[in-house]
Amino acid sequence: MEKSALQIARAAYQPKLPKALQGPVKVKEGAATQSIGNQAEIKALFPNTYGMPVVEFVPAESENQEAINVGIILSGGQAPGGHNVISGLYDGVKSLNRNSKLYGFLMGPGGLVDHKYVEFTDEFIDEYRNTGGFDIIGSGRTKLEKEAQFESGIQILRQLGIKALVIIGGDDSNTNACVLAEYYAAKQYGVQVIGCPKTIDGDLKNEQIETSFGFDTACKTYSELIGNIQRDCNSARKYWHFIKVMGRSASHIALECALQCQPNICLVSEEVEQKQMSLDDVVEYIAQAVCQRAADGNNFGTVVIPEGLIEFIPAIKVLIRQLNEVLTDPATGEPREFKSADEQIRFVLDNITAENRAVLESLPADVKRQLCLDRDPHGNVQVSLIETEKLLSAMVAKKLAQWKQEGKYTGKFSAQHHFFGYEGRCAAPSNYDADYCYSLGYNASRLISNGKTGYMSVIRNTTAPAAEWIAGGVPITMMMNIERRNGADKPVIRKALVELDGAPFKYFASKRDEWARQTCYVYPGPIQYFGPTEVCDQCTKTLALEQGK
């Protein structure tokens, strides 16, 4: 495999580890825990893995040196740093005993169910150290939810002598990890299950998990692109750029990119919902900013839009919730099947409330059709396919044309559109993500060697130098509550939304009026891997503000 000069240089990079993981460790246990909501229901569903303590690793004189066989799964969408989690876990189990083995299940959880796997070797792992992507074993979106899947999995785990399974994923994947850990514990199968917090969207975090891996790299990648667009925007001075970034369920990416780049406008879905803004309210907010800049002679600007904005507009959110329910077969929990698109649209219109039908009919025809037809594998609306950036710019243009006829606006408006999604998911990890992910994987090996199951690998204090990071684990049940999903109540890890009373949003809110009127663009440039610490090893502005740094 031919490599670029950067790949060759990055292969030599040795990720930094917390001091506590640089030698033998022992467990320091905290108090018993409980779930963040629905305590009685979660405890009843997870009797064998509920209430366990948060654990922290501290240096010890010696530790368990038995050989262990471990399996690993990449689940869900890609995120920068996944390969370093695997290399960290590999080095971790090998540091305990050179006879330990690590197996990777191919193309996600489906590889466990279908018994498709590969055994890692030194040569194999070395090809992927500090690289982006999930191509080492691939990823998939198969959900581990059914007993038949668990039983199929245990067959291959026993065949390979695997005593522990590490599942790298987001909130849904780690919910599945918790369900699997409970099942194997209840059956006394002797297989531990450990989760690892992955998602570029940044919505898998809480008091114990400071950030999900990949968020740092993805935001820096998007911010470079936004900065480049802003430099062009400020040079040509004739376009408004509408830039949609990933983040369906939360606006963490949009907010972080705004903190890094200082665009004229950044919409935050959580605020739109809290203020009960309609689609027209959002359009008017943008149009007013365009008018203000035009009055100053600036017929250009940038607008950053979170991918899931549409879903947070209250009336549309209610509509989408009902669409997800009526298009799910209550008998099977699977998406309903229809003979044609027209039949599906008729079914939707006949089975939603009059209020929701009115909201649906008020939307542009293409958006209406997407909401009715496009579903993901789990039957949910494909919000990412709705071209919100084009929808908003068209509606802003219409609003400005109306204002021009009324003599309220005399500027010029021309729009360009961008969607940054896949561009950030497989970038070579920043130094922060390279170190953080390697530590998460290495730390998982210590959770396994200390007999833990149903835990998430966590690394904290990550705004400090890596040697001062704190390594340990948190029970996955601690993060769970009951939520309505596709017509049924299910135990899930609660998503972390942008906190409107949190330091990152408050800082943004204090600056946005200035950024809207003036041209305050910042141009972050590409990720830097070599050079001064203050350039290469910095965490996101979101994390720094949250930690008061």
Query: Do strands 117-119 and 101-105 pair parallel, antiparallel, or not at all (unpaired)?
Result: antiparallel
Helix, strand, coil percentages for the chain (3-state, nearest 5): 45, 15, 35
Closest CA to 335 of 381, 282, 379, 291: 379
Long-range contact set of residues 462-466: C-beta below 8 Å, sequence gap at least 24: 462/210, 462/211, 462/432, 462/436, 462/539, 462/543, 463/539, 463/543, 463/544, 463/547, 463/549, 465/16, 466/16, 466/17, 466/18, 466/435, 466/439
Chain centre to alpha carbon of residue 239: 31
Angstrom distance (rounded) from CA 549 to CA 533: 16
State how far the alpha carbon of 101 is from the alpha carbons of 64, 66, 120, 165, in Å.
Answer: 16, 12, 7, 12
- Residue 254 in tokens: 């949009």
- Angle (CA) 400 404 406, round 5°: 115
Backbone angles phi, psi at 319, to 5 degrees: -60, -50
Q: Residue 302 pairs with which residues in a beta bridge?
A: 241
Angstrom distance (rounded) from CA 166 to CA 158: 15
Residues 6+ apart with CB under 8 A from 512: 258, 265, 266
Q: Is the dihedral of CA 139, 370, 375, 337 positive or negative?
A: negative
Active site residues: 201
Angstrom distance (rounded) from CA 165 to CA 187: 16
Beta strands in 48-88 (DSSP E): 53-59, 69-74
- 479 and 74 Cβ atoms separated by less than 8 Å: no
DSSP 428: P
Backbone angles phi, psi at 327, to 5 degrees: -90, 10
Backbone angles phi, psi at 285, to 5 degrees: -60, -45
